[in-house]
């Protein structure tokens, strides 16, 4: 199944959306509402980050159990250090 796209139409659609976004006036909200919005977003993101940390800890524990068992069975494991994040 092949999807045919017309690049010119896509670019025109994206450009028109950009133009519409630039000309559309953003609704004005009070400073207190904006502060509440950002605080709520941060609380949600903090909870999500904490859940990711829990998932990582669980995966690490399971990996360590597999590594330990393989070592008990005589399999030599070469553990690579994670590569540094490149900027």
pLDDT digits (tens, 9 = 90+) for 9-18: 777 777 776 6
Length of the chain counted residue by residue: 87
67 C-beta neighbours (distance < 10 Å), count: 13
pTM: 0.54
pLDDT digits (tens, 9 = 90+) for 35-71: 999 999 999 999 999 999 999 999 999 999 999 999 9
């Amino acid at each position: 199944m092949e999807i045919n796209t017309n690049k010119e139409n896509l670019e025109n659609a994206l450009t028109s959306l950009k133009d519409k976004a630039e000309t559309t006036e953003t609704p004005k909200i009070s400073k207190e509402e904006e502060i509440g919005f950002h605080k709520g977003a941060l609380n949600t993101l903090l909870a999500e980050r904490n859940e990711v940390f829990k998932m990582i800890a669980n995966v690490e524990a399971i990996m360590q159990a597999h590594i330990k068992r393989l070592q008990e069975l005589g399999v030599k494991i070469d553990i690579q250090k994670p590569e540094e994040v490149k900027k």
